Structure 1
Amino acid sequence: MEEMPRRIDPTMDRTAAAHLLDCLPDEVGYCPRCQGLTRRYGRHAQVVCPACRAAEAAESSHG
């Protein structure tokens, strides 16, 4: 079973968060659902963070 992505705490340094998200620090922003950090801006932006997307997918699969 695959581990669920974890929320990136908004107090984390943006450079460290960017490393985890595989993006540039200026592409990091806040998830509108949980306020955790996500790749919010740039070419491959994902406004909702990986943790919230995984939780949503888990909820819809248990339906």
Structure 2
Amino acid sequence: MDRVLGRIDPTVDRTAAARLLGCSPDQVGYCPRCQGLTRRYGRQAQVICPACQAVQPPSAVGAPS
């Protein structure tokens, strides 16, 4: 079973967040929904963090409300 990564608080060091996300620190940015840290830039970028994606399915991401 895949484990969903929880919200990464924006006060967490970017290097530590990058290790959790499996990317480099320069790829880390803010989730526009919760302001937590996510792999925002570069290859395999996820603008919406894994925690927010778990709440709302990817097919609904970006869909008008």
- Tell me which interval the TM-score lies in, with the shorter structure as reference length: 0.7 to 0.9
Residue number in structure 2 paired with 1:25: 25
Report the Cα distance in structure 2 between the residues aligned to 1:2 and 1:44, rounded to whole angstroms. Answer: 18
| Partners of 2:2 and 2:46 in 1: CA distance | 21
Q: Distance in 2 between matches of 1:41 and 1:49?
A: 12
Report the counterpart of residue 63 of structure 2 in structure 1: none
Could you tell me how far apart the structure 1 residues matched to 2:4 and 2:43 are? 24
Aligned residue pair count: 58
Q: Percent identity?
A: 71
Say if 2:13 is the partner of 1:10: no
Which secondary structure state, in structure 2, belongs to the residue aligned with residue 29 of structure 1?
strand
TM-score (norm 1): 0.83
Provide the residue aligned with 1:37 in structure 2. 37
Q: Unpaired segments of 5 or more residues in structure 2?
A: 61-65
Give the ranges of 4+ consecutive aligned residues of structure 1 lying more than 4 Å apart after TM superposition: 1-4
Runs of at least 5 residues in structure 1 that lack an aligned partner in the other structure? none
CA displacement at 1:5 relative to structure 2: 2.8
How far off its partner does 1:43 sit?
1.1
Deviation, 1:25, is 0.2
